Structures are given as C-alpha cells and as structure tokens.
Amino acid sequence: MVREANVKQATAEKQLKEAQGKIDVLQAEVAALKTLVLSSSPTSPTQEPLPGGKAHFKKGHTRNKSTSSAMSGSHQDLSVIQPIVKDCKEADLSLYNEFRSWKDEPIMDRTCPFLDKIYQEDIFPCLTFSKSELASAVLEAVENNTLSIEPVGLQPIRFVKASAVECGGPKKCALTGQSKPCKHRIKLGDSSNYYYISPFCRYRITSVCNFFTYIRYIQQGLVKQQDVDQMFWEVMQLRKEMSLAKLGYFKEEL
C-alpha cells in the first residue's frame, strides 16, 4: 500500500509539473499577443481576441512569420520583439589626429587646430550669457586659472552698493540677469567683487573648468597612467559634458 501511494504521489507531481509548464507557455502566448496588438499598424494583421485566448485574423490578411514565432510560447522568441541595444563609440579620425598632434607639442594657444575647434563648438557656446562683458571676463579667468567658485552658505546678506548691482544677489543671477536662486558665487582674479550665479550657470562654468584642468595636466606631464587613446576619450567625455551643459542639462547639488 505504501508503494502504491508513492507511485500515485510521483504521478501527481509529474502531472503538476506538466500543468505548470503549460501555464507558462500560455502566459508567454498571452504576452506575445498583447505586444502584437499594441504594436499593430494599419498594414499589419488586425487581431481581435476571442473567448478561449485565440486570435481571429480578418479576411484579406495572412499570418506573417513574426506573429507565428511570437506565439510559439518561447521566451527567446519574445526578445526578437524588443531588440537589445548597447552603447557604442567610434573615434572621429580627424579629431583623433588633431589631438595626437597637439599632445606631441601641448600648448594652450586657442588658435591651434585642436583647441580652436573645441573653442568654437563647445567653450564659446557654453560660456555665452546675456551679460556678455561679464561672460568674457569669466572666460579669461578660466583660461588663466584665476576663477574661484564658493557656496553662498547661510551668512547674512550684505548691503549692496549701487555700483555693485550687476553682481546680482542670492535671488538674481549676475550672468543671465534672471531671478533665480543662487547657491554659489564666483570671484574673478584679484577682484573684490563676488558674482552670484544660478545652478545652471555654475554647471556650465564648471564643465569648461574641468576641461581646462585636464588638458593642463596633460601639458604639464601629470597624466601618466593613461595612454593616448584613453586621454582622447577622456577629452571626448569632457566635451560631452560641455555640450550637455550648453543645451540646458545640468546637475544641481541638493
């Protein structure tokens, strides 16, 4: 009797596994049908769900191969509907050659081909603000490595003289003239004036500063752990950050 009970139990467990497998197949078919219905276009078969989980195809249309494969119940077939993508990169040969030429004799002259292109495409657009005179002074300070940025903090607001109105304030950006909360301020060289800047302007300035800092390190021979290719892609990453900043994308400290 015990043996007979064990046989019945084994048979029941086998039938349970088979039933679960059929449920998985049916669920995969339902998911595939939902995907096809949502992604169907006027030129693709129009499916109308009917009782029993079957799909009816209108006259004049034939079931295509993609529909049949999606209904096979295999999870691998569902991956065809949603292709897998990955990030790729490929060096522009002209940019790469210009960088290699610059690295052989690194200079900070903006007229050299390597830097001139970056000035025109990234640096100038990134540091173009409505207050053009102050923007030019900011660029000069960045080039000379004499610009400093500090958080405003919670110190009391000082009295602002009439001659220093253009410096902005905690609620007015000095570079754009817009009413924005300013959490940082900049100081240019030996000037005693502080200019309040919005988070957006700060990110644009810091993205340019990061670029200049890195190429200065290369010029000074401080980048020793990277080969030419790694240096090139680091420069491209810094250019990407400047491009995003000038388009309006920025990160703000909370």
Q: What is the pLDDT of residues 80-113, one digit of tens each?
A: 577 888 889 899 999 999 999 999 999 999 999 9
| Amino acid found at 226 | Q
- What is the percentage of the chain residues whose pLDDT exceeds 70? 67
The pLDDT assigned to 55 comes to: 46
CA atoms within 13 A on the CB side of 41: 1
d(C-alpha 104, C-alpha 119), whole Å = 20
C-beta of residue 172 within 8 angstroms of C-beta of residue 198 = no
**Chain mean pLDDT for the chain:** 79
131 has pLDDT over 90: yes
Mean pLDDT of 64-72: 50
First to last CA, the chain: 72
d(C-alpha 62, C-alpha 235), whole Å = 54
% helix, strand, coil for the chain, step of 5: 55, 10, 40
Confidence class of residue 219 from pLDDT cuts 50, 70 and 90? very high
- Residue 184's CB is within 10 A of a number of other CB atoms, namely 21
